[in-house]
């Protein structure tokens, strides 16, 4: 049995028809999803993935190898995928979710019924981005500040910043050194969400996600920046819940 430390269940719901596994942004804790159950329909149970080096796992060394991280997450999910499930990832978490979906597709035989991508360009564009994971702390802090969504109280707190900096650097390293392989095309729908003013993505790099599935593709933009989903949580989760309900209905109709 894998360690339960990877999985957070903000509001356990054994009667849920679908489980939604959520993966946070670079340096983020799974606790960012703690309030999601209040805005999700009752047929969905929210599961948050807690990566080492943050949250309640702050004392652990963060992973810097994406393949190992993906393998661990896929393994940790095994006891909970005895019913339909979906994956949601924001920013760096979207890349992780994409690779977890491919891992489950290739080696487990139980793929998600939906992959939900948030605030992330398609993986083939990642090699064109900036390389900042080796930069001084001040540059990383300014980078985080430019994305919005992080309180200045946090950014100016040296103790808090020093605690999360190793995880942030490790996550950025995995993203910035990622090498895309087109070996697997998914057979589940992909939903792409993003903020209209997100400086990290553009419509072209979002639309390209359509190439990664043989099933349906849909994109929806919301007002806001890179962290739009926390600014308009109820609106975003209402739309997400509707998409998941449609996927579940399609599964039942087969």
Tell me the sheet residues that pair with 221.
194
Give just the sign of the alpha carbon dihedral 221, 226, 229, 235: negative
- Marked catalytic residue, from 29, 64, 76, 91: 91
Q: 111: burial class by Cβ within 10 Å (0-12, 13-18, 19+)?
A: buried
Question: CB of 170 within 8 A of CB of 146?
Answer: no
Give the integer Cα–Cα distance in Å for 16 and 241: 13
**Separation between Cα atoms, residue 92 and residue 118, nearest integer Å:** 9
For residue 146, indicate whether it is catalytic: no
Q: How far are the Cα atoms of 38, 128, 170, 214 from residue 148, in angstroms, in the given order?
A: 24, 22, 20, 34
CB-based burial of residue 43 (10 Å sphere; 0-12 exposed, 13-18 middle, 19+ buried)? middle
Q: Give the residue from 194, 142, 163, 159 showing the smallest Cα distance to 27.
A: 163
Q: Which two tokens stand for residue 80?
A: 């909970």
Q: Which two tokens stand for residue 171?
A: 């996550």
Which positions are annotated as active-site residues?
A: 91
């Amino acid at each position: 049995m894998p360690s339960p430390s990877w999985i957070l269940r903000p509001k356990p719901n054994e009667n849920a028809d679908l489980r939604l596994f959520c993966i946070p942004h670079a340096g983020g804790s799974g606790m960012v999803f703690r309030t999601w159950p209040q805005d999700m329909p009752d047929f969905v149970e929210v599961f948050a993935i807690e990566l080492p080096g943050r949250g309640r796992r702050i004392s652990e060394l963060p992973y810097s190898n994406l393949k190992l991280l993906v393998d661990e997450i896929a393994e940790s999910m095994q006891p909970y995928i005895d019913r339909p499930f979906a994956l949601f990832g924001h920013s760096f978490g979207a890349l992780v979710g994409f690779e977890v979906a491919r891992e489950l597709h290739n080696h487990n035989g139980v793929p998600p019924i939906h992959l939900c991508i948030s605030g992330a360009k398609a993986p083939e564009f990642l090699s064109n981005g900036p390389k900042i994971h080796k930069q001084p702390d001040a540059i990383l802090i300014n980078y985080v500040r430019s994305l919005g969504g992080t309180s200045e109280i946090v950014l100016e707190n040296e103790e808090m910043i020093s605690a999360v900096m190793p995880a942030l650097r490790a996550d950025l390293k995995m993203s910035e050194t990622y090498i895309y392989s087109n070996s697997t095309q998914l057979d589940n729908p992909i939903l792409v969400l993003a903020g209209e003013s997100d400086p990290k993505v553009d419509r072209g790099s979002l639309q390209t996600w359509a190439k990664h599935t043989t099933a349906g593709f849909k994109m929806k933009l919301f007002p806001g920046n890179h962290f739009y989903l926390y600014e308009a949580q109820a609106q975003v989760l209402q739309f997400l819940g509707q998409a998941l309900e449609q996927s579940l209905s399609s599964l039942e109709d087969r």
